[in-house]
Amino acid sequence: MNLIETIKDAGIVGAGGAGFPTHVKLNTKAEYYIVNAAECEPLIETDKYLCRTFADELIKGIMMISTHLEAKKSVIAIKAKYKPEIAALREAIEKNGADIEIFEMRTFYPAGDEQVIVQQVTGRSVPERGLPIEVGAVINNVGTIVGMYNAIVHGKKNTSKFLSVVGEVQEPIMLQVPIGTPIRECIQAANPKISDYAIILGGPMMGRVVADDEAIDQQFVTKTTGNIIVLPKNHYLIERTHVPMDRIKHQARSACIQCRMCTDLCPRFQIGHRIKPHLVMRNIWRENSIDSDKQFEECFGDAVNCCNCGLCELFSCPMGLSPRRVNGYMKGKLQERGISVEKNMHPVSRPTVELNRVPTDRLIARLDLGKYNGLHAHDCIELHPKEVFIPLSQHIGKPAVAVKNVGDKVCEGDVIASADATGLSTNIHASINGTVCDVTSSGIRISEN
Ligand code: SF4
Ligand code: SF4
């Protein structure tokens, strides 16, 4: 098998959150190979742990992928304040004689946004709703590269996940768990300080809030789970998600003071994309009175360029309004009306791009997460659950197709669901040795023998 086939066979997808099948992303040549080690969102510990612990594997993995891509430059983008991680990476670069540059970034949010990193490293802005390869770059997260290294060198399939558990726990911990591990087991391992909690799967800005106890019981670790935040149910970040859309629209109509902070601090606006959330907010009152599609697009078309980073609603807006959710709502309305917004294929970053950065510490204070900040996970604990539930859709694209039946014996690494051959998809493997005890349209349950 060549490199692409090996990565495909191992079921590697972007570990940084998006879950894009990696064999598709790497099936190209590129000028730049960029490694995203920025650990974008506050509180998350996973990428830092991987950089410290697997620096050698990471550097060897970068060398392999870089050779495959015929990249002229290989660059690790990491925040300058991550000193131990940078030291570990520099040592591994030296040891392997690798031609890899370390690009030290300031500590701002969203430093790890793929398009922001590409602009920082190359000076080029990715087209609206485009991909880094359109400006000659391929970018992978550190977890994805460690997974690829293990697949290429050790023949290991994508069956386990490193993740941190932070927030209302005795102390933040790092875990290595089989994919499909119940999220409750991960939280219990971190000794939560409260019993009635909500969680965020991912980071505080873009993660998915799960507040209902029964819903938490139905959550399992997937290929993209990198962090779990445990919070009181009445925490600001949890309560905000309960506000209904009608109230959000009403607040926008009545309280937006058109200060345009949401636009000026928007990272996509700063790299030159056509997105002005303050104008979408200004026009929201006209939503139901515009018949012409052209006019509707003029008022709300910018919404399609929103990347959902959350900065406008969780930091920028002095009135506590929600341009992000209004943009999400308007994306749906544009789709309903069949309006396709043209892309700007040649955006140019604005002169203010380096000035209008939001420092992560100020963001953490605004999010009321200060008491959890500065606590770090050190050692990694391995969990061995007796039962796992492995979803068939853990990636962008079509769900994998189950190839096992109830009663089948499986070993860790066996394919239990194959990539759907009719579209973008990826293989899914058993993460423990055991017996298949349930196969549903959403996933496969395996119990230890
Ligand atoms: S969520 Fe807000 S700040 Fe982020 S890209 Fe969308 S409009 Fe810009
Ligand atoms: S930051 Fe808030 S108040 Fe200011 S323009 Fe944007 S939505 Fe309106």
Whether residue 220 sits in one domain with residue 74: no
Of 109, 134, 154, the residue that ends a domain is 154
Please tell me the predicted confidence (pLDDT) of residue 205. 96
Clarify whether residues 59 and 133 are in a common domain. Answer: yes
Q: Is the CB of 317 under 6 A from ligand 2?
A: yes
Torsion of CA 238, 244, 248, 250, to 10 degrees: -150
Give the atom of ligand 1 at the shortest distance from the alpha carbon of 310.
1
Task: State whether 372 and 400 are in the same domain.
Answer: no
| Ligand 2, atom 3: closest residue by C-alpha | 256
Beta carbon of 281 within 6 Å of any ligand 2 atom:
yes
Pair 446, 436: CB distance under 8 Å: yes
Q: In this structure, is residue 409 part of a structural domain?
A: yes
Q: What is the pLDDT of residue 16?
A: 75
Domain assignment of residue 430, given as a range: 387-448
Model pLDDT, residue 377: 83
- How many angstroms does the Cα of residue 223 sit away from the middle of ligand 1? 26
| C-alpha to C-alpha distance for 178 and 169, rounded to whole angstroms | 21
H or E element in which residue 275 lies: none
User: Do 143 and 47 meet the contact criterion of CB atoms below 8 Å apart?
Assistant: yes
User: Are residues 191 and 312 both part of a single domain?
Assistant: no
Give the pLDDT of residue 443: 96
What pLDDT sits at residue 373?
85
For residues 138 and 34, membership in a common domain is answered with yes
The pLDDT of residue 414 is 97
Q: Is the ipTM of this complex over 0.85?
A: yes
Distance between Cα 127 and ligand 1 center (Å): 16
In a domain, 305, yes or no: yes
What residue's CA is closest to ligand 1, atom 2?
A: 312
Asked if residue 324 has its Cβ within 6 Å of ligand 1, the reply is: yes
The distance of Cα 392 from the centroid of its chain, to the nearest Å, equals 19
Q: 403 and 442, same structural domain?
A: yes
Per-residue confidence of the chain (449 residues) as pLDDT tens digits?
Answer: 899 999 999 999 998 777 999 999 999 999 999 999 998 899 998 999 999 999 999 999 999 999 999 999 999 999 999 999 999 999 999 999 999 999 999 999 999 999 999 999 999 999 999 999 999 999 999 999 999 999 999 999 999 999 999 999 998 999 999 999 999 999 999 999 999 999 999 999 999 999 999 999 999 999 999 999 999 999 999 999 999 999 999 999 999 999 999 999 999 999 999 999 999 999 999 999 999 999 999 999 999 999 999 999 999 999 999 999 999 999 999 999 999 999 999 999 999 999 999 999 999 999 999 999 877 887 899 999 999 999 999 888 999 999 999 999 999 999 999 999 899 999 999 999 999 999 999 999 999 97
Residue 114: inside a domain, yes or no?
A: yes
Do 164 and 269 belong together in one domain? no
Taking the centre of ligand 2 as the mean of its atom positions, its distance from the CA of residue 280, in whole angstroms, is 10
Neighbours of 413 (CB within 10 A): 16
Domain assignment present for residue 240? The answer is no
Angle at 49 between CA 44 and CA 52, to 5 degrees: 145
Q: Is 242 inside a domain boundary?
A: no
CB 309 within 8 A of CB 267: yes
Residue finishing a domain among 154, 173, 200: 154
Mutation test of ligand 1: which of 113, 206, 312, 366 has the most ligand atoms closer than 8 Å to its C-beta? Answer: 312
Q: What is the pTM of this model?
A: 0.94
300 CB-side CA count, 13 A:
27
Position 72, amino acid: K
Q: Are residues 163 and 205 in the same domain?
A: yes
Q: Is 321 touching ligand 1 by the criterion CB < 6 Å?
A: no
Residues 19 and 133 reside in one and the same domain: yes
Tokens of 417: 């669901």
Pair 420, 318 in one domain: no
* Burial of 235 per CB tally in 10 Å (0-12, 13-18, 19+): buried
Candidates 115, 126, 240, 268: which one to mutate for ligand 1, based on the most atoms within 8 Å of Cβ? 268
The answer on 193 and 145 residing in a single domain is no
The predicted pLDDT at position 379 comes to 81
258 within a domain of the structure (yes/no): yes
CA of 35 to the centre of ligand 1 (A): 23
Q: Is the CB of 202 under 6 A from ligand 2?
A: no
**Ligand 1 atom with minimal separation from the 110 CA:** 4
pLDDT value at residue 201: 97
DSSP annotation string for 81-150 = T-HHHHHHHHHHHHHHT--EEEEEEPSEETTT-HHHHHHHHHS-PPPTT--GGGGTEEEEEHHHHHHHHH
How many structural domains is the chain composed of? 4
Residue type, 11: G
Q: How far apart are CA 383 and CA 367, in angstroms?
A: 31
Answer yes or no: is 64 within a domain: yes
| In-domain check, residue 120 | yes
CATH of the domain at 256: 1.10.1060
User: For residue 70, how far is its CA from the centre of ligand 1 (angstroms)?
Assistant: 34
What is the CATH number for 24?
3.40.50.11540
Residues 181 and 298 in one domain: no
Q: Could you say which of 132, 154, 176 is where a domain stops?
A: 154
